[in-house]
């Protein structure tokens, strides 16, 4: 993404628009990751006056929205989801154009987002307080859950529809109003989502706020923001937690991952690796739940390299808008450089470059940001490729010869998002289940989560309740004890 002011058309910094006719704001142009010469839109960035006005509007809309009976709120959210479904083609095109993933993955993202959001409507219908016995005959003791107010949803660039909906839908259902700040690299789909709510959700209930780190930081620090739901990098999460902590603002942080698949001695390698490589290379590895470490029984090592070579060779890299593409580009030039840097550091620190390892052009005319699917043999747990999140199509290959060694390796990073174990040995399954330091564990399948299960990390991968599932409604509400005589 590069900064420059265009004449027109420029998307507004806030939607619904707040301040017509004021002096032009900084406008930022986004470029396609598949072709860096192709503009994908130009976006005004909000300034501090806009941020304040948007928060004020969200705060003013809170009382009437929270007082609306839940079935009515749910009906409106449901209508909004229907319009999103009706605009799926446009949204998928925007995802692919700005984020880069193949169109079929963009469609799958929208489908999953809608299923999860509808599941949240069902959870919200069952979410609420309860009554407890009291110490006095004429007294009722009620434990209620109350919405918080205006909340900020701050999102990364890898899932431009799913991440916003995972935050905004539960927040709105329980009676909050929301300000959605998409990634500065992929704002198109978020703006469409919010525009689709026009005429369905009352004014001020959902707003889009465009900008970079400064705008997001202003939202986090604003005294009228009552909760911050964030997905992104660990470093940004730590900064947000520090500011929110000083204001005593609740935060939910969904952060990075370094996700391992353990392949035990008895597993059917070709079948298992089909799933594992798909989980590693979808979205060109730019998923927080992408498998990025293969911890395999030492007897499997040579065969894994052979099968990886075959799988990687079958991938068709290119623009995600072309139907045959199965490996899209890296979303930003900065991310491509970071991937390149980590692979170089890993090799200097002793990793064996088994496959890939370089940026490349899928065809002679390509101006895209592509990185080869890469396999690095790592015997040292301290290697940067084992310890750091790469967020690209890069896998380490590590070996074990006892279940205890496998679990020790699994837990040896600061991350704790997701892991997969492929083993038919009940003892190994039980050991990994009891010892794995991860928020989500998959036994004998890849790392695709179900639509009703908490999406949650531990250690440096997250803080607070999960998104999706019942507990996300807890995050967007506070408990209140009432004694009534
Ligand atoms: P990022 O942390 O750079 O940016 C995420 C968002 O935070 C953007 O909207 C950005 O504008 C905003 N931001 C930046 N600085 C800020 C500050 N000081 N205060 C407030 N907001 C600020 O992350 P990214 O590069 O967009 O996304 C990639 C990262 O996201 C990876 O680490 C990945 O693992 C993580 N991620 C995690 C999950 C999960 O569910 N655990 C899902 C997707 C992505």
CA of residue 455 relative to chain centroid, distance: 10
Q: What is the DSSP letter of 330?
A: -
Question: Atom of ligand 1 at shortest distance to CA of 288?
Answer: 34
Give burial (CB, 10 Å; 0-12/13-18/19+) of 305: middle
Q: Please state the rounded mean pLDDT for residues 83-100.
A: 98
Local confidence band at 466 (pLDDT 50, 70, 90 cut-offs): confident
pLDDT one-digit tens code per residue, 251-260: 999 999 999 9
What pLDDT score does 23 carry? Answer: 63
The whole-model pTM stands at: 0.96
Q: Give the residue whose CA is nearest to atom 9 of ligand 1.
A: 183
What pLDDT score does 59 carry? Answer: 98
What pLDDT score does 249 carry? Answer: 98
Would you please indicate which residues are annotated as catalytic (active-site) residues? 254, 288
Question: Atom of ligand 1 at shortest distance to CA of 455?
Answer: 40
pLDDT one-digit tens code per residue, 134-175: 999 999 999 999 999 999 999 999 999 999 999 999 999 999
Cα dihedral 166→276→93→192 (10° resolution) = 10
Q: For 122, how many CA atoms within 13 A lie in the half-sphere containing its CB?
A: 10
The ligand 1 site (C-beta within 6 Å) comprises 154-158, 181, 183-184, 212-213, 216-217, 220, 231-233, 236, 239-240, 254-257, 288, 389, 391, 417, 457, 461-462
14-255+462-484, CATH topology level: Aldehyde Dehydrogenase; Chain A, domain 1 (3.40.605)
Give burial (CB, 10 Å; 0-12/13-18/19+) of 134: middle
The DSSP-derived string for 1-27 is: -EE---SS--B-SEES---TT-PPPPE
pLDDT one-digit tens code per residue, 402-438: 999 999 999 999 999 999 999 999 999 999 999 999 9
Query: Residue 129 and residue 159: Cα distance in Å, rounded?
Result: 33
What pLDDT score does 25 carry? Answer: 82
Domain boundaries, given as residue ranges, for the chain:
14-255+462-484, 259-450
What pLDDT score does 299 carry? Answer: 98
Residue identified by tokens 């799913």 is 162
Q: Say how many Å lie between the CA of residue 139 and the centre of ligand 1.
A: 48
Mean pLDDT, the chain, rounded, equals 96
pLDDT one-digit tens code per residue, 287-310: 999 999 999 999 999 999 999 999
Query: Residue 23 and residue 408: Cα distance in Å, rounded?
Result: 58
Query: Residue 77 and residue 169: Cα distance in Å, rounded?
Result: 7
Helix (H) or strand (E) run with residue 354 in it: strand 352-355
What pLDDT score does 446 carry? Answer: 84
Helices 234-247 and 213-221, packing angle to 10 deg: 30
Q: Give the residue whose CA is nearest to atom 32 of ligand 1.
A: 233
Mutate to test the pocket of ligand 1, among 190, 216, 232 (most ligand atoms within 8 A of CB): 232
- State the architecture of 259-450 in CATH terms: 3-Layer(aba) Sandwich (3.40)
Helices (H) and strands (E) counted in the chain, each on its own, are 15, 24
Q: Say how many Å lie between the CA of residue 15 and the centre of ligand 1.
A: 22
Residue 18, pLDDT above cutoff 80: no
* pLDDT above 70 as % of the chain: 97
Q: Give the residue whose CA is nearest to atom 10 of ligand 1.
A: 213
CA of residue 240 relative to chain centroid, distance: 16
15-19, 23-27, 339-343: least confident range: 23-27
Mutate to test the pocket of ligand 1, among 116, 153, 156 (most ligand atoms within 8 A of CB): 156
pLDDT one-digit tens code per residue, 241-280: 999 999 999 999 999 999 999 999 999 999 999 999 999 9
Nearest to 460 by CA among 268, 288, 221, 306: 288
Evaluate whether 240 touches 230 at the Cβ level (below 8 Å). Answer: yes
Query: Residue 317 and residue 326: Cα distance in Å, rounded?
Result: 6
Residue 445, pLDDT above cutoff 50: yes
């Amino acid at each position: 993404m590069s900064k420059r002011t265009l004449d027109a058309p420029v998307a507004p910094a806030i939607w619904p628009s707040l301040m017509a006719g004021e002096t032009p704001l900084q406008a930022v142009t986004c470029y396609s990751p598949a072709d860096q010469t192709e503009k994908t839109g130009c976006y005004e960035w909000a300034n501090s006056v806009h941020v304040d006005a948007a928060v004020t509007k969200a705060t003013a809309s809170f009382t009437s929205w929270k007082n609306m009976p839940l079935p009515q709120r749910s009906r409106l959210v449901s209508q909004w989801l229907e319009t999103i479904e009706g605009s799926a083609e446009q949204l998928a095109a925007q995802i692919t154009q700005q984020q880069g993933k193949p169109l079929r993955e963009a469609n799958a993202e929208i489908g999953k987002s809608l299923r999860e959001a509808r599941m949240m409507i069902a959870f919200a219908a069952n979410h609420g307080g309860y009554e407890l016995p009291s110490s006095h005959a004429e007294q009722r003791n009620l434990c209620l859950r109350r919405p918080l107010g205006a909340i900020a949803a701050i999102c990364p660039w890898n899932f431009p529809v799913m991440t916003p909906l995972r935050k905004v839908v539960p927040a709105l259902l329980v009676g909050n109003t929301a300000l959605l700040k998409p990634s500065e690299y992929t704002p198109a789909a978020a703006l469409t989502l919010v525009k689709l709510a026009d005429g369905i959700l009352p004014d001020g209930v959902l707003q889009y706020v465009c900008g970079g780190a400064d705008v997001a930081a202003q939202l986090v620090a604003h005294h009228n923001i009552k909760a911050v739901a964030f997905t992104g990098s660990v470093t940004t999460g730590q900064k947000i937690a520090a500011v929110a902590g000083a204001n005593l603002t609740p935060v939910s942080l969904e952060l990075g991952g370094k996700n391992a698949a353990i392949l035990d001695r008895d597993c059917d390698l070709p079948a298992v690796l089909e799933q594992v490589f798909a989980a590693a290379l979808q979205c060109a590895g730019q998923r927080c739940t992408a498998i990025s470490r293969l911890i395999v029984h030492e007897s499997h090592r040579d065969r894994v390299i052979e099968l990886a070579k075959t799988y990687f060779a079958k991938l068709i890299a290119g623009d995600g808008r072309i139907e045959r593409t199965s490996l899209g580009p890296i979303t930003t030039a900065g991310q491509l450089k970071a991937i390149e840097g980590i692979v170089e550091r890993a090799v200097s620190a002793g990793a064996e470059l088994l496959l890939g390892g370089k940026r490349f052009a899928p065809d002679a005319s390509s101006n895209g940001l592509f990185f080869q699917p890469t396999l690095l043999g790592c015997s040292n747990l301290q290697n940067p490729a084992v310890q750091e999140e790469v967020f690209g199509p890069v896998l380490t290959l590590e070996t074990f010869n006892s279940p205890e060694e496998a679990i020790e390796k699994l837990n040896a990073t600061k991350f704790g998002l997701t892991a997969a174990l492929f083993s038919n040995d009940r003892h190994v399954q039980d050991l990994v289940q009891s010892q794995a330091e991860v928020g989500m564990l998959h036994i004998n399948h890849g790392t695709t989560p179900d639509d009703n299960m908490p999406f949650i990390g531990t250690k440096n991968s997250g803080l607070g309740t999960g998104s999706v599932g019942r507990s996300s409604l807890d995050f967007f509400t506070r408990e209140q004890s009432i004694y009534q005589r």
